[in-house]
Amino acid sequence: MRGVGIGGYEPVRIQSMASSPTTDVPATLEQIKRLESAGCELVRLAVPDKRAVQAFAEIRKNTSLPLIADIHFDYRLALQVLEVGADKIRLNPGNIGGPERTLQVAREAASRGVPIRVGINSGSVEEDLLVKHGGPVPEALVESALRQLELLAPVSDLQLVLSLKASDVWTTIQAYRSISQQTDWPLHIGVTEAGTPFTGTVRSSVGIGALLAEGIGDTLRVSLTGDVTEEVRVAWEILRSLGLRRRGVELISCPTCGRTEVDLLRIALQVEEALKEIQEPLRVAVMGCAVNGPGEARGADVGVACGNGSGLIFRQGQILRKVPEEKIVEELLAEIQLYLTELETH
Ligand code: SF4
C-alpha cells in the first residue's frame, strides 16, 4: 500500500482516523497532514454516504499516505470507494448486510489488490454466538472472526487484516491472544472507545502493550477522544517503550523529590514541547539533582542534571558546561540542535 507494508517482517504500523467529516475536504487534508507529521502511516476516513465517496476521491489525489475507507451498513459504498482509489477497506461484517455482500466487496477488493480489514467488535458479534457464549466475551469474538475467515477463504488473492476490538481491556487481550494462535493473517490491534486522553492512554497502553510484548499485532490504533495527533504520539511512545520502533525523542525525566532544587516539571515540559516535531531517534534526559541525575544524563545522547539554581549539560557521557537555571532549556535545546546537525553531516 503506497510503500507501507503490513504483517510479516514489516514494522508495526501506526494508524489513526480523521475526526473531521470526510466531506470537508480541506479540513480532512489538514488533519492528514498533521497526522503524517506526527508519524501516522495509515489514515482511516469514514465513508457514510455517496458524497463522502466523492470527497474521498478528492482527498486521495492530494495526499501520499495510504487511505483506508471505513464502511458501515452499505456495501455499495465499499464498491464505489474502491473505484476511486481506496488503499484498504475496513468493514464490519456485523452490519454490512450479510455474507453475500461481504463476499462481493471481498472479491472486488481482491481483484484490485486492495486489502480488507474485517473488524470484529463487541457490537458486531452474531446473535447466535452471543447466546452460545453468554455475551461478547473473547470466545464469541474469536468464533465470529473464524466464521468470517471461513466465509472469505474461497476468495482468491484476497489480502486480509483482522481486528477483534472490545472496550474492555482483558476481553481485547484474550481475544487477540486466541486468534493469533489460529490464523496467520496480520492483526490490527487496539482497545476500542478507550476514552479521554488520560484514561484512553492508560487503557490503550496496557492492552496494546501487553499484546505487543507477546509479539501480537501488525498495525495499531490508540483510540482517544480528542486531538487525533495525540493518538499517534501515544502510539509511538508505546512502540518506543517496547523497543519495537525508534522515532523522535525519548524523553527521560525524573519524578523529582526533596532533593530537587529547580522547577523540573516546567523544564521537562518545555523541552518536550520544543522537541515534539523531531523525527530522528534521540534520547534526552532531564534530571532533578546531582545525586542520581548525572547517571541518567550521561546515558542519554544529550541531558541535563540540575542542581541548586543551575544545570550540568551532558552529551554522550561527557559534561560540557554548567548553566544557570534560567538558561537550562535554551542551552539544552541548542546542544540538541548541534548534536542533530553533526549527526546529519557525519
Ligand atoms: Fe530526586 Fe535526584 Fe532522583 Fe530526581 S534524580 S528523583 S531529584 S534523587
310 CA → ligand 1 middle, Å: 15
- How far away, in angstroms, is 63 Cα from ligand 1 center? 46
Measured in angstroms, how far is the CA atom of residue 286 from the centroid of ligand 1?
A: 10
Nearest-angstrom CA–CA distance, 325 and 328: 5
The residue assigned the cell 482483558 is 170
CATH code for the domain of 146 = 3.20.20.20
Question: What CATH number is given to the structural domain containing 335?
Answer: 3.30.413.10
Dihedral, 58, 78, 175, 43 alpha carbons, nearest 10? 0
CA distance 269 to 67: 33
pLDDT, tens only, 119-161: 998 888 889 999 999 999 999 999 999 999 999 999 999 999 9
For every residue of 84-129, which 3-state class applies, written as one string?
Answer: CCCCEEEECCCCCCCHHHHHHHHHHHHHHCCCEEEEEEHHHCCHHH
Three-class DSSP category at 223: coil
Tens digits of per-residue pLDDT, 177-208?
999 999 999 999 999 877 888 999 999 999 99
- Whether 7 is covered by a domain: the verdict is no
Residues with CB under 6 A from ligand 1: 254-257, 259-260, 287-289, 291-293
Please say which residue of 241, 274, 289 terminates a domain.
241
Q: How confident is the model at residue 297 (pLDDT cuts 50, 70, 90)?
A: low
User: Whole-number mean pLDDT of the chain?
Assistant: 92
Band of the pLDDT at 116, cuts 50, 70, 90?
very high
The answer for residues whose C-beta is within 8 angstroms of residue 269's C-beta and 6 or more apart is none
Residues 280-285 have a mean pLDDT of 92
**Ligand 1 mean position, distance from CA 298 (Å):** 14
Kindly provide the b/e burial profile for residues 24-48, where b requires at least 16 CB atoms within 10 angstroms of the residue's own CB.
Answer: ebeebbebbebbbebbbbbbbbbbb
Domain containing 223 equals 13-241
What local confidence, expressed as pLDDT, does residue 88 receive?
Answer: 96
> For residues 8 and 230, what is the distance between their CA atoms, to the nearest angstrom?
27
Whether residues 271 and 337 fall in one domain:
yes
- Tell me what pLDDT residue 293 has: 67
Q: Whose CA is nearest to atom 1 of ligand 1?
A: 257
Same domain, 297 and 334: yes
